[in-house]
Chains A and B, each alone.
Chain A
Amino acid sequence: MAENSLRAKLRDYLTREVLRDPSYPLGDDDPLISSGLIDSFSLVDVALWVEDNLGVRIDNSELNADTFDTLSELAAYIADRQK
């Protein structure tokens, strides 16, 4: 999947399901975890959704800002694993 469409899918999921505000202007490089935008209770949801919809398994120990903290980083991480 091209990173562009991946980002679009992720943005749609995150604003709709995690932030519950589809109109939220989520930028590619906005910090998600370190800013608290995604709270810790939603991290497992993100991992479950990514696995079910994009076929990439994110290990629990990777659910932190060091692995990905922005939409771009998350998309790159997933694209890399999809190769």
Chain B
Amino acid sequence: MMIATLPERLLQLTQADPERVCLRFRYADRPEMAQTRYGLMAAILSAAGQLAAAGAARGDLVVIVQQDMRTLVATFFGAAWLGAIPSILPFATEKLDPARYRASMVALLELARPAILATDLLVERGVRALLPGGHKNLPVVATVKPECDGKVDLASISPPGLDPDDIALLQHSSGTTGLQKGVALSHRAIFEQLDAYGQAIGFTADDVIVSWLPLYHDMGLIAGFLMPLLNGACLVMMSPFDWVRTPQMLMHAISDHRGTLCWLPNFAFNFCAQKIRDRDLEGVDLSSIRAIINCSEPVYEASHHMFAERFRPYGVGLDKLAVCYAMAETVFGVSQTPIGLPARIDLVDRASLRGDNIARPVAGGASGVERLVSTGKPIAGMQVCIMDANHRLLPDRHVGEIAVRSPYMLTEYYHRPDATAAAFHEGWYLTGDMGYLADQEVFVLGRKKDLLIVGGRNIYPQDLEALASTVKGVHPGRVAAFGIPNPETGTEDVGLVAEVDSESKAAWQDIRAEIRRAISRGSDVTVRHIWLVPRGWLIKTSSGKVARLANREKILSEYSGISPAMPGLPSPHYEG
């Protein structure tokens, strides 16, 4: 594939077939809206004009906080059209604590220094109210309006003269910590990834992608957005806020438009299987699906079985459920299971896996067997190896840190040369994920660091601990937050242990309620289990830090039975 820039590719596609529908916006409460390539280009040029009027220029960071999907799409590409660097952030929901939001904005303003904050008519007021007033790096706020009435003469437009090695976009994880590490990706890296990943799944312009994924997340932004639009395919798009209340929307969208590909985090397989009623699936036909791809959080075999059992009558069995291992730092995909086959399951000896960190194959039916789901072979151009703690290469079936190298890596963590340097070892990007290789297939076991993945989103435990530490009665810094795998929901529950002084039952009840409130309002997650413990209970590392996974094991062994919903808890054999 010839390396282009995002604007060049979009213009090429539009000039080639302006009347082809490339986007269908689905809503829970109003009719679908279709957009042709021509319509999209007109909207992009309008948004680019509005951003330029606000002062956006090549190389500027444009942070986008918008709710309206059409405006969001136009603003993202409008910024790219100017050679500016778009970065989509989630908009603040009403539950969010304004002080907390301002604090994370300050972190972003000081480090990334956005020139423009692009918002829309729906969230403009809220966004303005949440900006840290008086800050010296305050960006210009531009409210982008969905105007695209002006006629566009396609023949006379020429794409801006950008370099494929320019930074095309930034991706952030959520929370205060995530906002301090923007993954910067070049046009070249994006196209190289789309090419390699496209080969792995046999992607063509005839594919129809259906997605509810948020665009501030790599799976939503790359697989569920850039992949179809930069390859000339059609994208059927809905908002995560609509989908989470009306999950059957996804099935209807697939059915109505003969959808072929869909990416979902593991929890969504459980969610769809458990929460859609038969009456909401009347007339639905999912037989057009080539693959529904499980990606971005640990894959549970049981989730695939649950989904296949529920949706086989509608046309999706196990053979259509695939798995992908992906990360923002490689743009998206690292490995992918073959389309059209059930993901391979590796049966390994549990004792050996936990005791020796070796995944020894065993026969089915034997006792003490761990069933691990493959994430497939590395995609074209991707090299994967497994390293021990001293960065020595490990042989097949030995568990260690997964390291990757490819022609489509991040350019840098934006304005963070320290973090960029720390992430690599002799050209290999250290993923922080633990896993092993077997027959060239990548098996991912969990995180080396204490990161939580809840519903596909990365959540930093230190952010949750800081929130809990603000509650009166909790010893600041004497808190441990961690994930507890829950097979019922297909994702992790958030658990938290906090040291308190008081021994009064009533005070404990209030402290628990306050911690719950502080985390609900200050983060993207809800805490499920809160344990209060006396002073001195928490295990600390030799350097005096609270050891999260050790405390998780301690609390679960002391209070086993407090929560019935946690069988099959993996051991912490990858504690780093």
Which of B524-538 touch A at CB < 8 Å?
525-526, 528-530
Which of B512-548 touch A at CB < 8 Å?
512-513, 516-517, 520-521, 525-526, 528-530
Q: Which of B29, B489, B512, B565 makes the CB contact (< 8 A) with A21?
A: B512
In whole angstroms, what is the CA distance A61 to B241 when docked? 11
**Interface residues of A, CB < 8 Å — how many?**
24
The closest CB in chain B to the CB of A43 belongs to B245
Give the distance to chain A from B282, nearest Cβ to Cβ, in Å. Answer: 15
Asked whether, in the complex, the Cβ of A35 is within 8 Å of the Cβ of B247, the reply is no
In whole angstroms, what is the CA distance A33 to B563 when docked? 24
Give the distance to chain B from A73, nearest Cβ to Cβ, in Å. Answer: 16
Which of B94, B489, B517: most chain A Cβ within 10 A? B94
Asked whether, in the complex, the Cβ of B244 is within 8 Å of the Cβ of A44, the reply is yes
Give the distance to chain A from B479, nearest Cβ to Cβ, in Å. Answer: 17
Given A19-B516, A20-B563, A61-B29, is A35 in contact with B521 using a C-beta cutoff of 8 Å? yes
Asked whether, in the complex, the Cβ of B244 is within 8 Å of the Cβ of A40, the reply is yes
Give the distance to chain B from A67, nearest Cβ to Cβ, in Å. Answer: 11
Q: Which of A34, A36, A40 makes the CB contact (< 8 A) with B245?
A: A40
Chain A residues with Cβ below 8 Å from B521 are 35-36
Give the distance to chain B from A63, nearest Cβ to Cβ, in Å. Answer: 5
Q: Counting CB contacts under 8 A, is A79 at the interface?
A: no
Q: Counting CB contacts under 8 A, is B232 at the interface?
A: no
Chain B residues with Cβ below 8 Å from A19 are 516
Q: How many A-B residue pairs have CB under 8 A?
A: 65
> Residue-by-residue, is B250-274 near A (CB-CB < 8 Å gives 1, otherwise 0)?
0000000000000000010001000
The closest CB in chain B to the CB of A60 belongs to B246
> Residue-by-residue, is B21-47 near A (CB-CB < 8 Å gives 1, otherwise 0)?
000000011000000000000000000
Q: Which of A34, A39, A61 makes the CB contact (< 8 A) with B525?
A: A39
Which of B333-357 touch A at CB < 8 Å?
none
Q: Counting CB contacts under 8 A, is A4 at the interface?
A: no
Give the distance to chain B from A38, nearest Cβ to Cβ, in Å. Answer: 8
In whole angstroms, what is the CA distance A24 to B520 when docked? 15
Size bracket of the B interface:
20 to 34
Asked whether, in the complex, the Cβ of A40 is within 8 Å of the Cβ of B241, the reply is yes
Q: Which of B245, B247, B512, B520 makes the CB contact (< 8 A) with A37?
A: B520
In whole angstroms, what is the CA distance A45 to B28 when docked? 18
Asked whether, in the complex, the Cβ of A34 is within 8 Å of the Cβ of B247, the reply is no
Asked whether, in the complex, the Cβ of A60 is within 8 Å of the Cβ of B563, the reply is no
Asked whether, in the complex, the Cβ of B275 is within 8 Å of the Cβ of A24, the reply is no
Give the distance to chain A from B528, nearest Cβ to Cβ, in Å. Answer: 6
Asked whether, in the complex, the Cβ of B517 is within 8 Å of the Cβ of A35, the reply is yes
The closest CB in chain A to the CB of B526 belongs to A39
Asked whether, in the complex, the Cβ of A34 is within 8 Å of the Cβ of B271, the reply is no
Asked whether, in the complex, the Cβ of A60 is within 8 Å of the Cβ of B95, the reply is no
In whole angstroms, what is the CA distance A20 to B529 when docked? 8
Asked whether, in the complex, the Cβ of A48 is within 8 Å of the Cβ of B275, the reply is yes
Given A34-B94, A37-B520, is A24 in contact with B529 using a C-beta cutoff of 8 Å? no
Asked whether, in the complex, the Cβ of A36 is within 8 Å of the Cβ of B530, the reply is no
Give the distance to chain A from B558, nearest Cβ to Cβ, in Å. Answer: 18
> Residue-by-residue, is A38-54 near B (CB-CB < 8 Å gives 1, otherwise 0)?
01111111001000000
Chain B residues with Cβ below 8 Å from A33 are 95
Given A34-B94, A35-B521, is A24 in contact with B245 using a C-beta cutoff of 8 Å? no
Per CB-CB distance, the 4 closest pairs between chain A and chain B, nearest first, are: A36-B520, A36-B95, A60-B246, A39-B526
- Identify 9 residue pairs between A and B in the complex whose beta-carbon atoms are under 8 Å apart, listed by A's number: A23-B509, A23-B512, A35-B95, A36-B93, A36-B96, A43-B244, A44-B247, A60-B246, A61-B245
Which residues of A are in contact with B by a Cβ distance under 8 Å?
Answer: 19-21, 23-25, 33-37, 39-45, 48, 60-61, 63-65
Which residues of B are in contact with A by a Cβ distance under 8 Å?
Answer: 28-29, 93-96, 241, 244-247, 267, 271, 275, 277, 455, 489, 509-510, 512-513, 516-517, 520-521, 525-526, 528-530, 563, 565
Beyond A34-B95, A36-B95, A63-B245, list 9 extra A-B contacts (CB 8 Å).
A20-B563, A21-B516, A35-B517, A36-B93, A39-B525, A41-B489, A48-B277, A61-B29, A61-B246
